[in-house]
Structure 1
Amino acid sequence: MNKPNSIKFCAFLLLFNVLSINAQDFNEKWGIGLNSASVLYSAEDGTTVGGRYIATVPGISISRYLGNKMTISVMFSNSMNDTQQYFSSDFNLSYDIFNPDSFLRPYLLGGVGVVNLLDTGLTLNVGGGGTLWIANNIGLNAQLIYKVSTIGGELQKSHIFGSAGIVYSFSPSRNKRLWEK
């Protein structure tokens, strides 16, 4: 996909997110996010997989707040305009460290993922992140995940996956803005 098409795709996703607010379930515990991410392999593993750094745009995540400070999410990331063809899908469970109603929401996460780069493999994910709510429905999110390669070919290696993006929550009542106490 070339650069103008990827920009159009991102704009479409953002517009779709804004327009589909009434399509969510009545509990309003759903959220959706768009992000950009970087994949980092060790120097040794970088020679095996064809490079140390891979950029992914766009990353898409869908999450549901379960209660008791727990959120379940699924995230999809794909490399674009990179020499390496990286695709991952992750299923993570996160735990809010502090009150989930606060404007800054740091969390720890764990889960599993499927990564396709030269080989397809299963990863165990461990990491953390946080969301800074800048409006009732909109937050800035960043997270860092270490993906431990568990099942896959010899070409599949463990790596670090860092992402940053914007999150839209369909539940404005759960989020306080930065200036609210």
Structure 2
Amino acid sequence: MSLYSQSADNKWTFGLDLASVKYSDADGANLGGSFISQTPRFSLAKYMFSGITFVGSVSTAIGDNQKYTTFDGIARYDFGTSQNNVVPYIFIGGSFIKAASLTPTLDFGAGNTFWFSDKYGLNIQMMYKYSQDKFASQKSHIMPSLGLVYSFKGRSLVPRLWNSNR
């Protein structure tokens, strides 16, 4: 579940994701493994203005031999499609990852929310976390996620073309 896509009338969403961290094989060998499960991942988002939404997320490795907890903050842009049933977006932000030590990263990526009702949607997202080489405790990696989104007030969706009375 992920929290995404709101509008000026409906500002808040909550998300719960299945997420993972994937390092390159070479980096994974140095860090104790190339894959870390990050489930569950919790997110809270607020629509701000003009297609911009601020999102805060947290997830941690549970039952994995590697320690990895991430606190993420991103600004997402939805191309003015926040009232549609399909809402693609791009984003940029940053994270603090607590592994061997606390490491900052620069995050960017893209995603899409598929709203199947006024309150619930399905979100898919791909995030790249860039870590500077000076931080030995962390390497750059990707973090894909898939989850459900809950809209607190409900959304007024633009009707689908095939549901209109034209």
In the alignment, which residue of structure 2 is the partner of 1:164?
A: 146
In the alignment, which residue of structure 2 is the partner of 1:111?
A: 93
Q: Which runs of 5+ in 1 are unaligned?
A: 1-26
**Which deviates further from its counterpart, 163-172 or 151-160?**
151-160
**Of the two structures, which has the highest relative contact order with CA contacts closer than 8 Å and spacing of 6 or more?**
2
1:11-22, aligned counterparts within 5 Å? none
What is the TM-score with the length of structure 2 in the denominator?
A: 0.86
1:92 aligns with 2:50: no
The one-character-per-residue Cα deviations of 1:116-138 (angstroms, maximum 9, x if unpaired) are: 12222000001010100011010
CA distance in 2, matches of 1:180, 1:119: 53
**Which deviates further from its counterpart, 36-45 or 150-159?**
150-159
CA distance in 1, matches of 2:133, 2:153: 37
> Which residue identity lines up with residue 136 of structure 2 in the other structure?
E
> Kindly, what percent of the aligned residue pairs are identical?
34
The one-character-per-residue Cα deviations of 1:16-74 (angstroms, maximum 9, x if unpaired) are: xxxxxxxxxxx641110001101000111101110000001110000001121110000
CA distance in 1, matches of 2:64, 2:155: 40
> Which residue identity lines up with residue 38 of structure 1 in the other structure?
S
Residue pair 2:60, 2:70 contacting (<8 A) in 1 also: yes
The one-character-per-residue Cα deviations of 1:97-127 (angstroms, maximum 9, x if unpaired) are: 3521100000000001001122220000010
> Which residue identity lines up with residue 123 of structure 2 in the other structure?
N
1:147 aligns with 2:129: yes
In the alignment, which residue of structure 2 is the partner of 1:59?
A: 41
The partner residue of 2:103 within 121, 125, 130 is 121
CA distance in 1, matches of 2:51, 2:107: 19
> Which residue identity lines up with residue 37 of structure 1 in the other structure?
A
CA distance in 2, matches of 1:70, 1:137: 20
In the alignment, which residue of structure 2 is the partner of 1:75?
A: 57
CA distance in 2, matches of 1:101, 1:30: 14
> Which residue identity lines up with residue 54 of structure 1 in the other structure?
I
Residue pair 1:49, 1:117 contacting (<8 A) in 2 also: no
CA distance in 2, matches of 1:175, 1:165: 20
CA RMSD in angstroms, aligned pairs only = 1.9
